[in-house]
Structure 1
């Protein structure tokens, strides 16, 4: 199920994004990128609609995924 990021408390959203960035990491090549910048990148993707927050009822977990990878059954 997709959870609109606008419906999530800002502090909670920040924590979800931070946990995602720390868990998943991101590939910035040889560049050393601060966590704060990675968090801002994810926020921008959520605002642009290229990434979405998905809640799994089966596993009771939250994840951030590219919108293109979310199947219609997740919506």
Structure 2
């Protein structure tokens, strides 16, 4: 039986394409792995986010807080077989 969070979803990519993915519950991700994933996300995508002079650790903590608060989700992309962090407002459950 699937975990309640393990549903196929559609999400809008930044280039206006739609992808299918699976939400990965945070409790299924090793904390060290999650932090490395967030660090990679922050260093790759932060230029599009508000910087306000934050340090790398502050940016990482901000994203982790958004994940813990449910404002963003870790999504496994079924096409590229990679994980990404997606804001909740770009996710639509099917």
- Shorter chain as denominator, the TM-score bin is 0.7 to 0.9
- Which runs of 4 or more aligned residues in structure 1 lie more than 4 Å from their structure 2 counterparts after TM superposition? none
Match of 1:8 in 2: 29
Q: TM-score, normalised by structure 1?
A: 0.87
Separation in 1 of the partners of 2:80 and 2:60? 24
Residue 66 of structure 1 pairs with residue 87 of structure 2: yes
Any residues of structure 2 matched to 1:20-39 within 5 Å, and which? 20-25=41-46, 26-28=49-51, 31-39=52-60
Q: Structure 1: give runs of 5+ residues left out of the alignment.
A: none
More helix by share: 1
Higher strand share: 2
1:32 Cα deviation from its structure 2 partner: 1.3
TM superposition score normalised by structure 2: 0.71
Greater gyration radius = 2
CA RMSD of aligned residues (A): 1.0
Number of residue-to-residue matches in the alignment = 71
Unaligned runs of at least 5 residues, structure 2: 1-21
Partner in structure 2 of residue 44 of structure 1: 65
